[in-house]
Amino acid sequence: MFTMIKTCGSCKRVYYYDVAECIFCDKELKGSSSGSSIVKGFTEVNVPSLEHETVPYNVMLLQDNDGNLSLRKSSESHIIGERMTGKEGKNERPEKAGAAGRIITAGIIGTGVMSEGIAQIFLERGMKVILVSRTEERLKAAREEIEDALLKGRTIEQQKIVIAGLSTTTRYEDLAAADIVIESIIEDLAAKRECFAKLSEICSPKTLIVTNTSSLSITELSKFVTRPERFAGMHFFNPVPKMALVEVVKGLKTAEDAIKEIVSISKAIGKTPVVLNDTPAFIVNRVMAAYLNEAVLLLEKGVASKEDIDASVRMGLNHPLGPLSLIDLIGVDVFVEIMNNLHRQTGEEKYRPAALAQELAKKGKLGRKSGEGFFVYAK
């Protein structure tokens, strides 16, 4: 997504690749530093392909001050003659990406796989990312993971340009000017309370504070921030760079403006947002929980073997993994916990975790991580 333009000082030939010297003149090539470009043309593409599954999307034909063209994917529509301001003089990048029509700064709290994935997609769309964790070691490890992920399909030069948007810190104070802060730490109420209290103190009143929680109530969590109208759920799916969906969850006090901004940011980072009211487990996990539990209940009733239940879903619904294997992957204990939460929060019998799953969890048969769950795994 980053166009590298190098120009020969002598013959003015333009190269679009990471080469050092002009093959005609042997002169060193200089990176082009045109400040801005205008939209010369655009098309709205309605045909999905493997790397661009979500349609429609726009492709813009941009022209810089030297007359050089570039092509750029954009989730927003544009008008001919619109001016795009460049960044850092290296690459002209549309600044229209963010909610407020500019490059946004995203604070991300946490250094798990999800946080890294979220950081990666913001960086890939030209955004700035401030990654926060308690320790320098974890930040260093996270940076390395992100660097590796960004190297896929890019040259080192191109990767460097993308990674330049990333900074890491152990100090919440550095998030003061962030446009949005995404909390993605462990699912622990006390830890989250501490995190949101600090953020409320430090962040500007304009900062959106969102949580990537999958199990806690947005309305409940909003009690820990001083501006609940600027607080919402922004639930990503694993692996973040691959999964198109973001659940944007409205708490009771979340303002419509805030939801609009989060939807716009989601689109700007190439995701497809869905907006929903706060409800236990949101949409995806709610449907998934009932479905997984149903598979265990069928097994309990002796309707079919565990292998055949999994095979039915794999081949009949084209899921890559059967439900029982999926529970083993998630962790039988985690599954039971999810069901217990849902059962408690909704009070509905249908969410009571199937006895067989509870029994496995009690026996320490937790799935892949313990070597045995519904199935046995070779160590």
Partner 1 sequence: MPGICHYPNYQQKKGALMYITGIGKTKFGILRQGLPELCYEAMQKALKDANASIEDIEAIFVSNFLAGSAQSQLHINSLIASLLPGIDIPIIRIETACASSGAALHQAIISLSKYKNVMVLGAEKMSGVGMKEMTSCIAEAGDRMLDQKEGVIFPASYALIAQQHMLRYGTTVDDLALISLKAHKNANLNELAHFAYKTVTRDMINNSPIVSTPLRLFDCSPISDGAAALIISREKKDGRSIKILASALRTGTISLAQRKDITSFPAAKAAAEEAYAQAGMTPDKIDIAEVHDCFTIAELVAIEDLGFCALGESKGWIRQGKTSLTGQLPINTGGGLKANGHPIGATGASQVCEIVTQLRREAGARQVKKADIGLTHNVGGVGGTVAVHIFRRE
Active site residues: 214, 235, 247, 285
* Per-residue CA distances from 363 to 92, 359, 366, 368, 373 (Å): 58, 6, 8, 14, 10
Q: What is the largest distance, in Å, between two alpha-carbon atoms of the chain?
A: 80
Q: Which amino acid is at 244?
A: A
- Residue 234 pairs in a beta bridge with 248
Structure tokens at 223: 């009690």
Grouping H, G, I as helix, E, B as strand and the rest as coil, residue 107 is strand
Q: Closest distance between partner 1 and the C-beta of residue 347, in Å?
A: 43
Q: Which is nearer to partner 1, 48 or 371 (CB)?
A: 48
* Shortest reach from residue 74's CB to partner 1, in Å: 9
Q: Six-digit token pair at 308?
A: 């055949």
User: Which amino acid, one-letter code, is at 152?
Assistant: K
Within a 13 Å sphere around the CA of 127, how many CA atoms are in the beta-carbon half?
31
Looking at the Cβ atoms of 63 and 226, the one nearer to partner 1 is 63
Q: Which is nearer to partner 1, 42 or 291 (CB)?
A: 42
Question: Can you tell me the distance from the alpha carbon of 38 to that of 62, in angstroms, rounded to the nearest whole number?
Answer: 6
| Beta strands 128-132 and 105-109, pairing class | parallel
Smallest separation, CB 378 to partner 1 (Å): 30
- Residue closer to partner 1, measured from CB, 17 or 377: 17
Is there a cis peptide before residue 94, judged by omega within 30 degrees of 0? no
Nearer to partner 1, 2 or 172 (CB): 2
Smallest distance from partner 1 to CB 182, Å: 25
User: Residue 80 or 189: which CB sits closer to partner 1?
Assistant: 80
DSSP-assigned letter for residue 353: P
Q: Which residues bind partner 1 (CB under 8 A)?
A: 1-3, 14, 16, 40-53, 57, 59, 61, 67-73, 80, 153-154, 158
Which residues share a beta bridge with 131?
Answer: 108, 168
Residue 154 CB-density burial (10 A; 0-12 exposed, 13-18 middle, 19+ buried): middle
Instruction: Residue 6: count other Cβ atoms within 10 Å of its Cβ.
Output: 19
- Minimum gap (Å) between residue 49 Cβ and partner 1: 4
Report how far residue 281's alpha carbon sits from residue 286's, in angstroms, rounded to the nearest whole number.
Answer: 5
Nearest in space to 169 (alpha carbons), one of 160, 161, 178: 178
- Distance of closest approach, residue 250 Cβ to partner 1, in angstroms: 31
Residue 61: what are its φ and ψ, rounded to 5°? -100, 110
Give 2 or 375: the residue with its C-beta nearer to partner 1.
Answer: 2
Least gap, CB of 37 to partner 1 (angstroms)? 12
Cis peptide before 56 (omega within 30 of 0): yes
